[in-house]
């Protein structure tokens, strides 16, 4: 009788673990490769092409930009404003993805953004100069959307050289 009780207990525990694992799989159905491709797509369409509408498709409603300046909103709004202004001031924008690493729900990439300063940007008239910005970013994804974003870049040094 004791062996039957232990066996039943083990079956109940294992069944519970299987249900929990299936539930977790349903919550995070994206593979690391799919997550990498989503982040690359976001960079190409948003940063390179200036397609701000892609934020509705690829950024979660709860999106948080952890790199936002102090006292600035951390949602997608400031990023959209920046990209809109950037594409007015720069042409020939190119995002070169140099390296992508993913583990679980995190994707990290190293990229180089190049562009030509052909319009006014941050109070500076067009110079015709080509700029290069180096960026390292980390994104967290859930259910096929980017929920969190961190980046480190040398953008201000590039703008100061105009």
Q: What pLDDT was estimated at residue 29? A: 77
Q: What pLDDT was estimated at residue 11? A: 44
Model confidence band, residue 12 (pLDDT cutoffs 50, 70, 90): very low
Q: What pLDDT was estimated at residue 159? A: 87
Strands (E), the chain: 59-65, 90-103, 106-117, 130-142, 145-153
Model confidence band, residue 5 (pLDDT cutoffs 50, 70, 90): low
| CATH top class, domain 31-160 | alpha beta
Over the stretch 88-103, which tens digit does the pLDDT of each residue have?
999 999 999 999 999 9
Q: What pLDDT was estimated at residue 4? A: 56
Asked whether the whole model's pTM tops 0.75, one would answer yes
Average the pLDDT over 108-119 and give the result: 97
- What are the sequence ranges of the domains in the chain? 1-29, 31-160
Residues 6+ apart with CB under 8 A from 88: 119, 120, 121
Which residues sit opposite 94 in a β-bridge? 114
CB 27 within 8 A of CB 143: yes
In the predicted structure, residue 19 carries a pLDDT above the cut 60: no
Model confidence band, residue 10 (pLDDT cutoffs 50, 70, 90): very low
Q: What pLDDT was estimated at residue 9? A: 45
Model confidence band, residue 28 (pLDDT cutoffs 50, 70, 90): low
Model confidence band, residue 25 (pLDDT cutoffs 50, 70, 90): very low
């Amino acid at each position: 009788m004791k062996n039957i009780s232990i066996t039943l207990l083990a079956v109940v525990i294992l069944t519970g673990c299987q249900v929990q694992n299936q539930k977790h799989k349903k919550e995070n159905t994206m593979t690391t490769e799919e997550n990498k491709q989503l982040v690359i797509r976001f960079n190409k369409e948003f940063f390179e092409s200036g397609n701000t509408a892609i934020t509705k498709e690829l950024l979660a409603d709860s999106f948080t930009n952890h790199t936002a300046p102090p006292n600035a909103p951390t949602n997608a709004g400031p990023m959209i404003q920046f990209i809109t202004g950037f594409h007015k001031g720069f042409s020939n924008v190119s995002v070169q993805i140099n390296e992508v690493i993913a583990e679980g729900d995190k994707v990290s990439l190293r990229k180089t953004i190049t562009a030509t300063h052909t319009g006014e940007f941050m109070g500076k008239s067009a110079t015709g100069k080509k700029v290069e910005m180096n960026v390292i970013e980390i994104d967290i994804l859930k259910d096929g959307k980017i929920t969190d974003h961190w980046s480190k870049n040398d953008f201000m040094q590039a703008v100061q050289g105009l």
